[in-house]
Amino acid sequence: MAITLDPKVPSGPIAEKWDRHKFAMKLVNPANKRKYTIIVVGTGLAGASAAASLGELGYNVLNFCIQDSPRRAHSIAAQGGINAAKNYQNDGDSVYRLFYDTVKGGDYRSREANVYRLAQLSVNIIDQCVAQGVPFAREYGGLLDNRSFGGAQVSRTFYARGQTGQQLLLGAYQSLMRQVQQKAVRLFPRREMLDVVLVDGKARGIVIRNLMTGAIEKYAGDAVILATGGYGTAYYLSTNAVNSNVTAAWRAHKRGALFANPCFTQIHPTCIPVSGPHQSKLTLMSESLRNDGRVWVPKNKGDRRPPDQIPEDERDYYLERKYPSFGNLVPRDVASRNAKQACDDGRGVGESGLAVYLDFKDAIGRIGVDSIKEKYGNLFQMYQKITDEDPYKVPMRIYPAMHYAMGGLWVDYNLMSTIPGLHVLGEANFSDHGANRLGASALMQGLADGYFVIPYTIGDYLAANPLPKLTIEHDAFKEAADNVQKRIDTLLSVKGAKTIRSIHRELGAVLWDDVGMSRNEAGLRRALERIPKLRDDFWHNVSVPGTPDNLNQSLEYAGRVADYLEFAELLTLDALNRRESCGGHFREESQTPENEALRDDANYSYAAAWEFKGVGKAPELHKEPLVFDEVHLTQRSYK
Amino acid sequence: MRLNLKIWRQAGPAATGHLEDYTADNVSPDMSFLEMLDVVNEGLARLGKDAIAFDSDCREGICGMCSLVVNGVPHGPDRGTTVCQLHMRRFKDGDTITIEPWRALAFPIVKDLVVDRGAFDRIIAAGGFVSVNCGGAPDGNTLPISKEIAEQAMDSAACIGCGACVAACKNASAHLFMSAKISHLALLPQGQVERHHRVMAMIDQADVEGFGSCSNEGECEAVCPKEIPISNIARMTREYVRALLVAGK
Ligand SMILES: Cc1cc2nc3c(=O)[nH]c(=O)nc-3n(C[C@H](O)[C@H](O)[C@H](O)COP(=O)(O)OP(=O)(O)OC[C@H]3O[C@@H](n4cnc5c(N)ncnc54)[C@H](O)[C@@H]3O)c2cc1C
Ligand code: FES
């Protein structure tokens, strides 16, 4: 099958594209919707909002997730907030400004039309969530409150204390459970999707493992939606929940869905530093803290004095110094690289020297402990539990950590992948954030995709593509299920002596060292030699205890690590291919004299979409040229 | 540190379980409780032995997935802390630690320390929502809500649905869990329309699931990792009585 990369961006002025497109799309008659079965994999913000909305429209929805309840999806952990161009603060915000900030923040590597639609829909999201009873923060007059996030000079971030993701997800989850009660949605928790089933080239079903019984189950439908989240845990240590994985996306990739920009990963500047080799994950300290916290390191190398003994004039508030207009609120990629530079320069703090301070002393002096507690209480408490230090008294120590995947399965304007019928939402797709995501924009994107985009575009797909009825008796289901079974049997048969975790940890170290915050040709080539060796090691020496016929968490974990060992090679290859720096992808070969990321628009103004050709075989690169009609490409500056 | 562990092992829902002895060596005080179990499991894997099954996901106290009873206390000894946030600096070299699953009729054991909490989802499905379809919601600021009420609603909405309250209660009552959701929505104007139906439907569903009644012991509040107070239960009771009056029952 020859692959055509058609982004299907509607014609017309950017502000009218989505409205025109909505009008041009075919509709499914309300009475006919019940006849269509839509499979939704994932119950995070993207999956839960999609499943609930499609259920409300009358489709027959099957919804799957790994956790024991849809409410526990990784989205629950999002802390800081969600952006929307409401301009409630009267500070000059608009749909156009949110669009502009997002394209610029992404370092001009996203698709303009998608980003504009996202900014337009942002305002509807807040309204919808308020109507559901999401307890957003309020001002004394009873109106909605906002805070500021990185990469913006307006205050447009809505929040519910430090638990915004939790409250938004519970809103979507409650809507979802209402559809479950009404029998529009059937829920399948503790199920892991392990393959997508194609019939006549179209996505018609999935194969899953029932995590409680080990049974391999098949489900057929008229379309499949993946909302399975990002691949940050490829790096072993990340801020992502430990069950996050690339498996669903990767298996779809192996069936023909192109994977776009895998090297666009986001390393978040403010996380609690690594404390030892036992560490299983890293904890984020929300970006919102940079509203009030000041980042600094000692001016002198190797200054080991405790922070309160370092006088003001011997401190370097390097973000405020280097970027006076954005200060501590520069975008994440800029903040992370600067933290790394300070530590590489021997000015890092803490025992390992791999940390910088985030100091609230001035803010506490200005607005008082109580105000700080009200804004960030749960984050401070979280910090104290992990480090045993009181951040009201001593500055937090923070360091960058792997956090978010901008890359993902390639989708067109309708959020459909290169496999007809297979749609991809939320962090799992690549569409809106270019080479760097701005804070508080992932929640916005997940909910825009699920509440307001897919309900329209899936109807268009179904109405325009009459599909023959089929059941799981079709041969394609048997082939896929056999495939899944074979892989499980192989994993269990290795019976080596190495633990899955030890190999995952090794993979993480390779990616962090050579495909992390700073990348160069030699390092990337080194990683490309090491990853296949690790993969080999895994398939010869891994120990996967237990049996396949019951709850077996080792088997689940082994499957995910096995997929990461294939995926990591693609991630690295993509990083090697892109010989420019942009956003979170910093190639040392391409920087300005001030060590800022230097893009190469002449050669790399495209989305790199990779086609799978076999494990260990060179994938084929397809390019989607990025056209900028609205935003003028410039060297990004936050000075 | 070296610790003696007594861990509940149960092969499956129908199997009989027992406490089994393990030792954890070289435990660092900076490890989290679950990281300590990861290390024990790595040791078992090296011997080709089946890992101890336990649930976790976010490992930062927000998803509600982790669910261990540590020395008889759901989520362990620290107040306002999920077991994934509990750190080993809380224990001493040579300590013996007993680790068991949530125990309640409505939470059947799947394996070892993993239980099925689907009953909580079904309680929410019975009425723990505001019935608004997507699309057509009015502008968010057309509905002012006082800061005080919004904060109170948020206090209740902070529940992570872990089920520790049930595990701590001698009646295995789900009252704290239910009352948190009922309070969150009863406090807000958005929740008013379905206020009476919601409380009745959720309480009825809890009966169907086999949760017990509340006898005001307060154990639930003591173990709640989000420190949700039992004043929520009092509010739920008021809501219930009101609903009965309105329904003329
Ligand atoms: C600590 C933290 C804080 C954050 N804070 C913010 C913030 O303040 N603002 C912001 O905008 N963004 C934030 N983000 C980013 C944001 O939370 C995520 O990008 C977003 O929630 C992803 O949502 P999602 O619906 O795409 O996927 P997820 O929430 O990751 O959901 C994935 C779903 O897919 C299911 N799944 C995965 N694989 C399979 C499979 N193989 N089979 C079956 N089911 C599967 C899972 O069970 C789950 O239900 C934060 C991220 C982290 C880690
Ligand atoms: S693992 Fe998420 S709350 Fe403990």
Q: Give me the residue label for tokens 């006898």.
A: B215
Amino acid identity of residue A190, one-letter, is R
Q: What is the mean pLDDT of residues A508-531?
A: 97
Query: What atom of ligand 1 comes closest to residue A238's alpha carbon?
Result: 53
Distance CA(A110)–CA(A430), nearest Å, equals 9
Distance CA(A371)–CA(A16), nearest Å, equals 43
CATH 3.30.160.20 corresponds to the domain B3-110: no
Looking at the predicted structure, is the pLDDT value of residue A1 above 70?
A: no
Looking at the predicted structure, is the pLDDT value of residue A3 above 60?
A: yes
Residue A192 Cβ < 6 Å to ligand 1: yes
Q: Whose CA is nearest to atom 3 of ligand 2?
A: B61
What is chain A's length? 639
Query: What is the per-residue pLDDT for B195?
Result: 96
Looking at the predicted structure, is the pLDDT value of residue A498 above 90?
A: yes
Q: Give me the residue label for tokens 């978010």.
A: A404
Distance from chain centroid for Cα A242: 14
Give residue-wise pLDDT tens across range A88-146. 999 999 999 999 999 999 999 999 999 999 999 999 999 999 999 999 999 999 999 99
pLDDT band at A481 (very low <50, low <70, confident <90, very high): very high
Q: What is the mean pLDDT of residues A546-560?
A: 97
Q: Which of A159, A210, A385 to mutate to test the interface with B (most CBs of B within 10 A)?
A: A385
Ligand nearest to the CA of A280: 2
In sequence order, what are the residues at sequence separation of 6 or more whose Cβ sits closer than 8 angstroms to the Cβ of residue B249?
A: none
Residue pair A331/A638 in contact by the 8 Å Cβ criterion: yes
Residue pair A423/A225 in contact by the 8 Å Cβ criterion: yes
Q: Give me the residue label for tokens 């916005």.
A: A444
Distance CA(B149)–CA(A135), nearest Å, equals 9
CATH 1.10.1060.10 corresponds to the domain B117-247: yes
Can you give the residue ranges of every domain in chain B?
A: 3-110, 117-247
Amino acid identity of residue A406, one-letter, is M
Q: Which of A53, A63, A71, A75 to mutate to test the pocket of ligand 1 (most atoms within 8 A of CB)?
A: A75
Question: What residues of B are in contact with residue A386 (Cβ under 8 Å)?
Answer: 32, 85, 87
| A416 CA distance to ligand 1 middle (Å) | 19
Residue pair A432/A115 in contact by the 8 Å Cβ criterion: yes
Q: Which residues pair with A225 in a beta bridge?
A: A40, A423
Q: What is the mean pLDDT of residues A215-219?
A: 98
Q: What is the mean pLDDT of residues A229-256?
A: 98
A213 touches chain B (CB under 8 A): no
Looking at the predicted structure, is the pLDDT value of residue A377 above 90?
A: no
Nearest to A185, CA basis, from A32, A46, A52, A49: A52
Query: What is the per-residue pLDDT for A638?
Result: 80
**Across all residues in chain A, what is the average pLDDT?**
96
Question: What residues of A are in contact with residue B39 (Cβ under 8 Å)?
Answer: 278
**Across all residues in chain B, what is the average pLDDT?**
97
Residue pair B201/B131 in contact by the 8 Å Cβ criterion: no
Residue A401 Cβ < 6 Å to ligand 1: no
Residue pair A84/A155 in contact by the 8 Å Cβ criterion: no
What ipTM score was computed for the predicted complex, to two decimals? 0.98
Distance from chain centroid for Cα B129: 19
Q: How many CA atoms lie within 13 A of A631 on its CB side?
A: 26
DSSP state of A449: I
Q: Give me the residue label for tokens 């974990």.
A: A557
A573: left (phi over 0), alpha (psi -120 to 50) or beta: alpha
Asked which of A327-341, A529-543, B9-23 is least confident by mean pLDDT, the reply is A327-341
According to CATH, the topology of domain A267-402 is: Flavocytochrome C3; Chain A, domain 1 (3.90.700)
Looking at the predicted structure, is the pLDDT value of residue A287 above 90?
A: no
- Taking an 8 Å cut-off on Cβ atoms, the answer to whether B28 and A276 are in contact is yes
Q: What is the mean pLDDT of residues A176-184?
A: 98
Can you give the residue ranges of every domain in chain A?
A: 14-264+404-464, 267-402, 475-625
Catalytic residues of A: 332
Query: What is the per-residue pLDDT for A422?
Result: 98
Element (H, E) at A609: strand A606-611
Q: Which two three-digit tokens encode residue A20? A: 């025109």
Q: What is the mean pLDDT of residues A596-610?
A: 96
Distance CA(A411)–CA(A422), nearest Å, equals 9
Amino acid identity of residue A246, one-letter, is V
Q: Give me the residue label for tokens 């080999």.
A: A536
Query: What is the per-residue pLDDT for A152?
Result: 87
Looking at the predicted structure, is the pLDDT value of residue B249 above 70?
A: no
Looking at the predicted structure, is the pLDDT value of residue A4 above 80?
A: no
Distance CA(B66)–CA(A243), nearest Å, equals 13
Query: Any idea which architecture A14-264+404-464 has in CATH?
Result: 3-Layer(bba) Sandwich (3.50)
Q: Which residues pair with A315 in a beta bridge?
A: A298
Helical ranges in A357-499 per DSSP H: 361-387, 442-447, 454-464, 475-493
Backbone φ, ψ for residue A297 (5° rounding): -135, 165
Distance CA(A623)–CA(A410), nearest Å, equals 11
Q: What is the mean pLDDT of residues B138-148?
A: 97
Query: What is the per-residue pLDDT for A304?
Result: 92
Looking at the predicted structure, is the pLDDT value of residue A149 above 90?
A: no
According to CATH, the topology of domain A475-625 is: Methane Monooxygenase Hydroxylase; Chain G, domain 1 (1.20.58)
Looking at the predicted structure, is the pLDDT value of residue B44 above 80?
A: yes
Q: How far is B33 from chain A (nearest CA, A)?
A: 11
Distance CA(A151)–CA(B128), nearest Å, equals 37
- Sheet containing A315-316: give its strands across: A265-271, A396-405, A356-359, A294-298, A315-316
Residue A171 Cβ < 6 Å to ligand 1: no
Query: What is the per-residue pLDDT for B4?
Result: 98
- Taking an 8 Å cut-off on Cβ atoms, the answer to whether A500 and B128 are in contact is no
Element (H, E) at A321: helix A318-322
Q: Which two three-digit tokens encode residue B2? A: 């070296």
Give residue-wise pLDDT tens across range A8-63. 999 999 999 999 999 999 999 999 999 999 999 999 999 999 999 999 999 999 99
Tally A–B CB contacts below 8 A.
226
Residue pair A525/A575 in contact by the 8 Å Cβ criterion: no
Q: Which two three-digit tokens encode residue A412? A: 């067109």
Q: Which two three-digit tokens encode residue A516? A: 């992390």
Residue pair A401/A393 in contact by the 8 Å Cβ criterion: no
Query: What atom of ligand 1 comes closest to residue A191's alpha carbon?
Result: 43
In sequence order, what are the residues at sequence separation of 6 or more whose Cβ sits closer than 8 angstroms to the Cβ of residue A51?
A: A40, A43, A61, A63, A176, A179, A185, A450
Query: What is the per-residue pLDDT for A376?
Result: 87
Distance CA(A393)–CA(A423), nearest Å, equals 49
Ligand nearest to the CA of A248: 1
- Taking an 8 Å cut-off on Cβ atoms, the answer to whether B190 and A130 are in contact is yes
Distance CA(B82)–CA(B70), nearest Å, equals 11
Distance from chain centroid for Cα A180: 27
Amino acid identity of residue A11, one-letter, is S
Q: Which two three-digit tokens encode residue A166? A: 């939790």
Residue pair A216/A484 in contact by the 8 Å Cβ criterion: yes
Rounded to a whole number of angstroms, the distance between the first and last alpha carbons of chain B is 61
Using CB atoms, pick whichever of A67, A72, A554 lies closest to residue B51: A554
Give residue-wise pLDDT tens across range B70-109. 999 999 999 999 999 999 999 999 999 999 999 999 999 9
Q: What is the mean pLDDT of residues B212-220?
A: 96
- Taking an 8 Å cut-off on Cβ atoms, the answer to whether A67 and B65 are in contact is yes
Residue pair A247/A195 in contact by the 8 Å Cβ criterion: no
Q: In three state form, how does the secondary structure of A163-217 look?
A: CHHHHHHHHHHHHHHHHHHCCCEEEECCEEEEEEEEECCEEEEEEEEECCCCCEE
C-alpha torsion sign, points B240, B243, B248, B249: negative
